[in-house]
Amino acid sequence: MTATTERVLNDALALSPIERAELIQRLFQSFDVSEDSHIDTAWTEEIEYRIEAYDKGLLTASPAEDVLARINQR
């Protein structure tokens, strides 16, 4: 790794888990994802399945605040 890359990595590791996740997402989005449309399709189907299961009472959910608090405790 270059010195710049090492510095960026060290700065990134100092972020909160939520901030690191957002950074990872943005970095992944910076790549050409045209070949990954099947992944987007699979995620869309999974999301629709989970929403339907939740609406039918087959899945439970936690408030976002609780989930984020658990993540930030790590």
Is the same domain home to 51 and 63? yes
pLDDT at residue 41 in the model = 87
Query: Are residues 46 and 67 located together in one domain of the fold?
Result: yes
Claim to verify: residue 43 and residue 72 sit in the same structural domain = yes
68 shares a domain with 43: yes
Q: What is the pTM of this model?
A: 0.45
User: Model confidence over 52-68: pLDDT tens digits?
Assistant: 999 999 999 999 999 99
Do residue 16 and residue 46 come from a single domain?
A: no
Domain that holds residue 4: 1-31
Please write the tens of the pLDDT for every residue from 20-31: 999 998 998 888
Q: What is the DSSP string of the chain?
A: --HHHHHHHHHHHTS-HHHHHHHHHHHHHTS--GGGHHHHHHHHHHHHHHHHHHHTTSS----HHHHHHHHHT-
Q: How far apart are CA 72 and CA 74, in angstroms?
A: 5
26 and 59 inside one domain: no
Q: 45 and 23 in one domain?
A: no
Query: What is the count of structural domains for the chain?
Result: 2
